[in-house]
Structure 1
């Protein structure tokens, strides 16, 4: 796995004293304070980097909000950010994508979560002293961003793109984009270790679903949270042509987009 995208607990543990490595805990404040957190971590709860005016879709919060969040967390644009949660990284992955979209060059996901870290390394209840910064975001230009909108998705349906639905089976069978492949985001996680499965196993698993590096891939779920995790994993595996449908199925249905419904056939499920 590419450690410029996903880092191991060992990688992070060896850099806890590095002032340029900033650890972000995206759990709720009560978890951060009451349960404990990684040494030196700052708390940026998941709800704080969602657009409050668009709760249903959970879209990005805007450059001004991100500048305030990262500035108040004492983060500078040149810092290396490592994000984690306690839900296999799905909420932290959303933070990773958010920071990348607003121009932070070096932001990574911790392989595993708080519980995985806690099995091997110490945690703390002490909050670090934070000196706020004047953070200036630099949002990606549309041609640089992996995010695609409704119209771009309509166009991609006419091409040989692989549409990957990262939700659960019952959601997929209730409504999905035409021709979509079901790939529950949790399939990449080892339930016992709470970390990602080995690289070779991940590559074989994805290939079994037709999700290969040579294809154009468009990810969607309901509110762009679960696809964040799959996006980060694919980038860590070296996939380059990966698109991220920010509006996901919520927007698609609101625009009366074409859908398929019903059970997966035995052939598709093989």
Structure 2
């Protein structure tokens, strides 16, 4: 995977422009029978603070498994499809995920869903705090009839993820013209980052007033300052593939489609004994 054309396609699912949806968009569709809202907060938050009407609770820790059969913290196709099937979510459903942490945990759910072949997936722009400011919440737990979902994993160029060997190959192939983007904070980046990587702290994409994403125009400008434009492929990493998920969604939303994530991130990189570049 050393050529730009081999990286393109990112995933076969939701169009980038539709990957982020507004609270108004969701409010207008809550009663549609195939819309499934997923709350990824802890169960106690879901129970004690209320939730978006109709939302089922799929806590973050339920789909993040360091011991799973897939690399990084992916739980494996069977475990993830069983989890969603138990929550009454079918592959044909429209899925909208949210959290109460600026969308970073919900973005991880979204990326995981894409890896396992759920195509119609979206992130609520603004988190639960933003939703409840203008919309009603429900305090009763939601349980839906389970459905059977066949396990599937998207591999190859259509997958949003890259494995260790592909990352090494791209780093050693300048002709690929790939931007490696570190989504951690400045201190972590200075302590050690991938050779040639530029930094974009995932929180730079967050509007502190709305708790959602900054406007597309602002995001395009900030990413362009790092050399990221729609014509260049991008590989994202952090430490454990959580923070990069938020940046993945931001990039897809503004029209950067040739974007992948290094799922193992620096945890795996260090496990392989690979060198990092530190700054004095």
Q: TM-score range by the shorter chain?
A: over 0.9
Normalising by structure 1, report the TM-score: 0.93
Give the Cα separation in 1 of the matches to 2:258 and 2:210.
29
Aligned residue for 1:53, secondary structure, equals coil
Q: Structure 1 residue 170 and structure 2 residue 170: aligned?
A: no
Normalising by structure 2, report the TM-score: 0.90
Question: Is the 2:56–2:143 Cα contact (8 Å) retained in structure 1?
Answer: no
- Aligned counterparts, 1:1-270, within 5 A: 2-53=16-67, 59-157=73-171, 158-159=173-174, 160-263=177-280
Gap runs ≥5 in structure 2: 1-14
Aligned residue for 1:30, secondary structure, equals helix
Which string of whole-angstrom CA distances, capped at 9 and with x for unpartnered residues, describes residues 67-119 of structure 1?
A: 21101110111000000000000000010011111111101110110011111
Aligned residue for 2:158, secondary structure, equals coil
Q: Which has the higher mean CA deviation after the structures are superposed, 183-192 or 120-129?
A: 120-129
Which string of whole-angstrom CA distances, capped at 9 and with x for unpartnered residues, describes residues 199-249 of structure 1?
A: 111111111121211112110000000111111111111112112100001
Which residue pairs with 1:268 in the alignment? none
Which string of whole-angstrom CA distances, capped at 9 and with x for unpartnered residues, describes residues 139-196 of structure 1?
A: 1132321211111111111222111000011111111001111100010111111111
Which residue pairs with 2:11 in the alignment? none
Give the Cα separation in 1 of the matches to 2:151 and 2:37.
18
Change in CA separation of 1:58 and 1:125 when aligned onto 2, cut-off 3 Å:
farther
Structure 1 runs of 4+ aligned residues shifted over 2 Å read: 1-4
In the TM superposition, residue 58 of structure 1 has moved relative to its aligned partner by 5.0
Count of paired positions: 262
RMSD over equivalenced CA pairs, Å: 1.6
In the TM superposition, residue 4 of structure 1 has moved relative to its aligned partner by 2.4
Aligned residue for 2:156, secondary structure, equals coil
Give the Cα separation in 1 of the matches to 2:66 and 2:46.
22
Give the Cα separation in 2 of the matches to 1:130 and 1:42.
8
Change in CA separation of 1:133 and 1:29 when aligned onto 2, cut-off 3 Å:
same
Give the Cα separation in 1 of the matches to 2:140 and 2:76.
30
Give the Cα separation in 2 of the matches to 1:203 and 1:97.
21
Give the Cα separation in 1 of the matches to 2:161 and 2:17.
23
In the TM superposition, residue 137 of structure 1 has moved relative to its aligned partner by 3.1
